[in-house]
Structure 1
């Protein structure tokens, strides 16, 4: 063997030498052509001739030397203008180059921008790529935690915002030195970070639909159940600096895609997500441990002084971050002793719809453009009060809320308003009412992980906002299809003869048993329209979800530690539903639906206790019989005004 190896090595060396000599000879024989000068410059600075604004791109240095790519749009003729800053992981260039007409309003047609307000009031618009994304230097960390237990470095989104504002007020001569931060979703998380040790020039913050606590009820989990359909976002957002790596699938119906993969961990493995640091953190922290609680923004801000006026904007049908804005409001409002620093706006929108046409959401019509109302009647005067030199009066109420059902805007001094908790009981006979039922009646169903309940009608589209996609509308989908399934139980009230107004968060109190050792509980509060709607026939009998959420049963005794469920034992499960501001009108009925899967939005519970559901095995997924006992109820926050 040794001799053969030496011979082979010598032969390979001789062949390589011969090939190399031939290549050199061929290169020497190749004709040499003169260079023809390129007509494309190495860099091109676009002329602003004919534009109504000047575009400036700068790399702003942070305190550790990392430079962040920043686009500055200055209206021509601007003088003593306020600055509106958005920090984003979604490409500052893309958010500021939508128009090529030279008109600033057209240029700003994009995510986070309210062009009518920005242009009409002459603000200097600044959009910056956060650290590690697109044109900015440094490393990217999803929702980079503040300096502390989860981030030992002195650098975080708060310090980057401070350094950015410091640069802007010193280097934009057209500004008046007043800065506001504004953004939606991830970009709404950034204004919240600006409130931590804020720069003196920061005069106002407008976090809209912000990411706040990814475990309790925003993007990654809801009460312990993982949002499986966010896997593509995690891949695309974290696998490359410029989101160049895309999630691809040859399966049209995402229900089939996720079901065939089995456990979510296996789905992630198939797409290479084990290479991604954020996915590794999710897998390592399925419970609400210190990793999550240390960086929960509402908890962080509860411990901070209240220095900057803040308007929190919440969507009543936010399909992505329905938890965050209300959680922050509850955390910081007690510090607002003068009731003039913390403001809340709630509209009948999907995630981010406040900057779009919002005269309807799916099949639900509002009769007017509620997004335009928000921008012109609330956002515009609010920003002007803090960012303009002449400081016009602030006409905005501490709370402005859209009352769905009656479709009117109302104002309040605080939220929630005074309410009475009224228990709405899930009787054993399928009747829903305020009278406590007697006896041990129950409703039951069989939950089969092999046939999970889809969270909307199939085929299920991916998460996205491309033309033709209706992801943003799923919270207002007609629930009749679900209510007709044998693995969904429903309770319905009598027809209302008087309006029923609820304002606040309904609280679920289930007494239930399962033959498994783990279970999910999905509860939906629904407004059932009359069988015939004369003004809108398509809404006849419509079942509109007003509030709904999921609880992973292993966390029934506390979110920090998972525990098996005792099979067959009636146990108590309690959790809050998202905030409501709704009128159930006369002629309508109330409905409550309960089920044990919401797929593939949330990963399937195997219904057999395993240490980590991300890695459940095929044999762990088993049918279970679920019983809901008649003293289960939903506490409704009922008000008379």
Structure 2
């Protein structure tokens, strides 16, 4: 996933006259000088693992430090061999606050030895790294793990091991490290509702390198560090036009069809959502232990806000660790916490002043658990701090959803012609009549409904995440659109967004995608949340049940989550269709395995909304 430093903007650096406004103007060589003037740096240290493999590690410690040091530890599959930008900011901030800063490449990446595996063996390599760090003569034996995206996801598997030195964790945007938790079985964001997400298709092309170059194993540390000054072992792969390539069929040949050697992608693309291999990997599952005080950073428009918050709730329900779990949920896309400022934008929508002292919270948390400063992180800090879009302010709660939130259903209605923005689809709280016309549409996988924003990331800008106008796709006849009347009072949805549909199809299997939209008074239709389900998995991921023509089926889609206020004069809108591409891989409607097929069939799909077969959105609404 996308490389992200802890802080791209610092409230201060080593000297008090360097502010957040001026930091971005400093050249990398000046930042490097700041670091080298204030710290001792050991580069390309090979930390030994239990099987003899050495992981390349950079160790940065404050000069003239007295006493033993707590450690901030970052493990990553990304290239930090030539430290710059975010890496320099991380290190300078840590040194400023009296920490050793340690960054390590996962095995099989750059100067680390061994073979790459997604999530980097958190339960073995991560554990062994903590053991080694805790034993160093300059270490106080307490390690805090930190990072966003791929530098966060491995922390979850490690936390299950309850290593005695693992004193605190700050995982940011860590959803791709979650396999199964509660209602979610996304297997590290590979799936949503049993539908493969394409972000890893693109990401793995850039990160996986089965035929990578490596240094001779017998080079000493000094020579490894010297070589690292002019060769970072980074592969430069041919550029790919993903807007075209992502449509290639069959999916099993997406990368090898371009000449790539088989690698991680080919192993994962053939796995079903309940494949036992998912439960033997680096993913964290909800039947495992957890032993680490954790400050979670999540985002409304990230790829996995739902699983992240579900895991937070899961841990908050466990005796013994519940009181050491806190969450921050911000109005940003993937890992863009440094962009929370006085004029924050998420895609095309401004949400006003969303400023948040990320650096202050990070070091307050670490000071509490790594330095035993019980006053650093206040006891009365709210369990959940979250930003409400539309209201454009930070709020706080003791739980998620907030205790005062109530369930409210909005039902889909029409006279049988809800097709497109110009149809007769309606949305309100009235239960449907005994007989009410259903809505029909045709889903052709060769002309799928395109993705415009929403919860996404890390796919080479193929589908940017964030808030964008949906009217282009709402004009299509294969998109059912249901809109409320204009609101006469604000409605604040804070919690889960859970769609329930009654559907039928002439295809053996097809997908149903649902989207919640906030319609501005001028008609702009901003996406709030979206989800999808593959109909064959409606009864669970441990079995596949095909559809029968003429039969009606109840689908409860994987929920999404938000805090959005629909203002006066706004409309609440729901879209229903059968594709959201290229965010989600297309269902070819054959009832086959999809990934090895290349010939789709057209499906004629139907959404029902009578008294016996209602379709609705259930929302958590604040009073």
Q: CA–CA distance in 1 between the matches of 2:178 and 2:535?
A: 20
- Equivalent residue in structure 2 for 1:341, among 314, 317, 324: 324
Deviation per residue, 1:488-516 (Å, 9 max, x gap): 11100011112212222211110011221
* Aligned counterpart, 2:603: 624
Q: CA–CA distance in 1 between the matches of 2:124 and 2:98?
A: 27
Task: Map 1:163-182; keep pairs closer than 5 Å.
Answer: 163-171=128-136, 173=138, 175-182=139-146
- Equivalent residue in structure 2 for 1:597, among 565, 568, 579: 579
SS, match of residue 84 in structure 1:
strand
Are the aligned partners of 1:185 and 1:321 in contact in 2 as well (CA < 8 Å)? Answer: no
Task: Map 1:105-124; keep pairs closer than 5 Å.
Answer: 108-109=88-89, 113=90, 118=94, 120-124=96-100
* Aligned counterpart, 2:70: 82
Q: CA–CA distance in 1 between the matches of 2:35 and 2:618?
A: 62
Q: CA–CA distance in 2 between the matches of 1:292 and 1:64?
A: 23
* Aligned counterpart, 2:549: 567
> Are the structure 2 counterparts of residues 339 and 218 from structure 1 closer, same or farther at C-alpha, using a change threshold of 3 Å?
closer
Task: Map 1:123-202; keep pairs closer than 5 Å.
Answer: 123-143=99-119, 156-171=121-136, 173=138, 175-202=139-166
- Equivalent residue in structure 2 for 1:392, among 375, 378, 383: 375
Are the aligned partners of 1:181 and 1:194 in contact in 2 as well (CA < 8 Å)? Answer: no
SS, match of residue 55 in structure 1:
strand
Are the aligned partners of 1:192 and 1:205 in contact in 2 as well (CA < 8 Å)? Answer: no
Unaligned runs of 5+ in 2: 1-31, 180-184, 213-232, 415-423
* Aligned counterpart, 2:527: 545
CA RMSD of aligned residues (A): 2.7
How many corresponding residue pairs? 542
Deviation per residue, 1:136-171 (Å, 9 max, x gap): 112221135xxxxxxxxxxx4223223222222332
Q: CA–CA distance in 2 between the matches of 1:487 and 1:92?
A: 46
* Aligned counterpart, 2:594: 613
Task: Using structure 2 for the length normalisation, give the TM-score.
Answer: 0.81
Is the aligned partner of 1:309 residue 2:293? yes
Q: Which moved more, 1:232-241 or 1:80-89?
A: 232-241
Is the aligned partner of 1:238 residue 2:208? yes
Q: CA–CA distance in 1 between the matches of 2:187 and 2:560?
A: 9
* Aligned counterpart, 1:507: 498
Are the aligned partners of 1:336 and 1:342 in contact in 2 as well (CA < 8 Å)? Answer: no
> Are the structure 2 counterparts of residues 303 and 228 from structure 1 closer, same or farther at C-alpha, using a change threshold of 3 Å?
closer
Is the aligned partner of 1:440 residue 2:436? yes
> Are the structure 2 counterparts of residues 186 and 486 from structure 1 closer, same or farther at C-alpha, using a change threshold of 3 Å?
same
Are the aligned partners of 1:52 and 1:76 in contact in 2 as well (CA < 8 Å)? Answer: yes
Deviation per residue, 1:577-628 (Å, 9 max, x gap): 2221222122211000011111122222111211x1111132xx12222211
Q: CA–CA distance in 2 between the matches of 1:132 and 1:638?
A: 47
* Aligned counterpart, 1:365: 350
* Aligned counterpart, 2:516: 525
Deviation per residue, 1:160-192 (Å, 9 max, x gap): 22322222233252x433210011122111221
- Equivalent residue in structure 1 for 2:276, among 280, 286, 290: 290
Are the aligned partners of 2:306 and 2:559 in contact in 1 as well (CA < 8 Å)? Answer: no
- Equivalent residue in structure 1 for 2:487, among 483, 491, 496: 496
Is the aligned partner of 1:456 residue 2:460? no
> Are the structure 2 counterparts of residues 138 and 591 from structure 1 closer, same or farther at C-alpha, using a change threshold of 3 Å?
same
Q: CA–CA distance in 2 between the matches of 1:222 and 1:236?
A: 22
Q: CA–CA distance in 1 between the matches of 2:255 and 2:546?
A: 25
Is the aligned partner of 1:257 residue 2:245? yes
> How far 1:127 sits from its partner (Å)?
0.6
SS, match of residue 583 in structure 2:
coil
Q: CA–CA distance in 2 between the matches of 1:138 and 1:87?
A: 15
* Aligned counterpart, 1:56: 42
Are the aligned partners of 2:494 and 2:562 in contact in 1 as well (CA < 8 Å)? Answer: yes
> How far 1:348 sits from its partner (Å)?
0.8
Unaligned runs of 5+ in 1: 1-45, 100-105, 145-155, 532-540
Deviation per residue, 1:295-316 (Å, 9 max, x gap): 584525x431x43211122111
* Aligned counterpart, 1:635: 618
Q: CA–CA distance in 1 between the matches of 2:412 and 2:545?
A: 26
Structure number with greater Rg is 1
Q: CA–CA distance in 1 between the matches of 2:36 and 2:195?
A: 53
> Are the structure 2 counterparts of residues 217 and 196 from structure 1 closer, same or farther at C-alpha, using a change threshold of 3 Å?
closer
Are the aligned partners of 1:222 and 1:551 in contact in 2 as well (CA < 8 Å)? Answer: yes
Are the aligned partners of 1:235 and 1:247 in contact in 2 as well (CA < 8 Å)? Answer: no
Are the aligned partners of 2:60 and 2:101 in contact in 1 as well (CA < 8 Å)? Answer: yes
* Aligned counterpart, 1:325: 308
* Aligned counterpart, 1:228: 198
Deviation per residue, 1:262-316 (Å, 9 max, x gap): 332242341345721x23332432232322345584525x431x43211122111
SS, match of residue 431 in structure 2:
coil
Is the aligned partner of 1:401 residue 2:386? yes
Q: CA–CA distance in 2 between the matches of 1:347 and 1:243?
A: 33
> How far 1:118 sits from its partner (Å)?
3.0
Is the aligned partner of 1:579 residue 2:564? no
Deviation per residue, 1:542-577 (Å, 9 max, x gap): 222211011111111211222221123221111232
Q: CA–CA distance in 2 between the matches of 1:329 and 1:390?
A: 24
SS, match of residue 274 in structure 2:
coil
Q: CA–CA distance in 1 between the matches of 2:272 and 2:321?
A: 40
Are the aligned partners of 2:199 and 2:457 in contact in 1 as well (CA < 8 Å)? Answer: no
Q: Which moved more, 1:291-300 or 1:423-432?
A: 291-300
> How far 1:205 sits from its partner (Å)?
0.6
Are the aligned partners of 1:521 and 1:594 in contact in 2 as well (CA < 8 Å)? Answer: yes
Q: CA–CA distance in 1 between the matches of 2:307 and 2:601?
A: 34
Are the aligned partners of 2:457 and 2:465 in contact in 1 as well (CA < 8 Å)? Answer: no
Q: Which moved more, 1:521-530 or 1:568-577?
A: 568-577
Are the aligned partners of 1:274 and 1:280 in contact in 2 as well (CA < 8 Å)? Answer: no
